[in-house]
Amino acid sequence: MVPIRELAETWSSWYSNSAAIRSSIAFAHVGGLVAGGGSAIAADRATLRALVRGGPFLAAEIDRLQGAHRIVLAGLVAVGVSGVLLMLANFDEYLVSKVFWLKMTLVAALFLNGAWLALVARRARGGQEQYSRRLRVACLASLALWFATTFLGTVLPNVL
């Protein structure tokens, strides 16, 4: 743990003493959230609408959903990298923060749900009704998780 703590202390010093670094990291975090989360929310809503319409509407939306998935993953990478840098800038406080660990649990759930959503979307495209129901649940879970993690992200700096 000592090398991580030394790295965190060095990074914290750079981060604390540079408005440009702080601004860049904050933008990467928020920008990744806007790109990834915004794309996911729009795709989830469109998929839920297509599930009601069914047939070719659902197949077309699942194709779009798979395209959106790449943007979501890129956004999550930006959020993840910037999040690690934010955590390292205030390492000791993050390690003991219950809000931080709850947020990380929801982020893990977001990744798992995204993988599940991609899997059931491929299967729902074939028209199997049980996968359409699962796709609906995955989309609703995605919406809830994106908003919950965003909420905790706004709470976190206020409780450190």
The pLDDT, as a whole number, for residue 55 is 83
Q: How far are the Cα atoms of 22, 95, 113, 146, 149 from residue 142, in angstroms, in the given order?
A: 29, 26, 7, 6, 11
50 CB-near residues (< 8 Å, 6+ apart): 57, 58, 60, 61, 62
Q: Which domain holds residue 53?
A: 2-159
Three state DSSP letters for 125-142: CCCCHHHHHHHHHHHHHH
For residue 78, which of 134, 34, 120, 144 has the smallest C-alpha distance? 34
**Count of structural domains within the chain:** 1
Q: pTM for this structure?
A: 0.91
Asked if 152 and 90 count as a contact pair (C-beta separation under 8 A), the reply is: no
Which helix (H) or strand (E) segment holds residue 76: the answer is: helix 55-89
> Tens place of pLDDT for every residue, the chain, 160 residues?
668 999 999 999 999 999 999 999 999 999 999 999 999 999 999 999 999 998 889 889 999 998 899 999 999 999 999 999 999 999 999 999 999 999 999 999 999 999 999 999 988 887 677 899 999 999 999 999 999 999 999 999 999 8
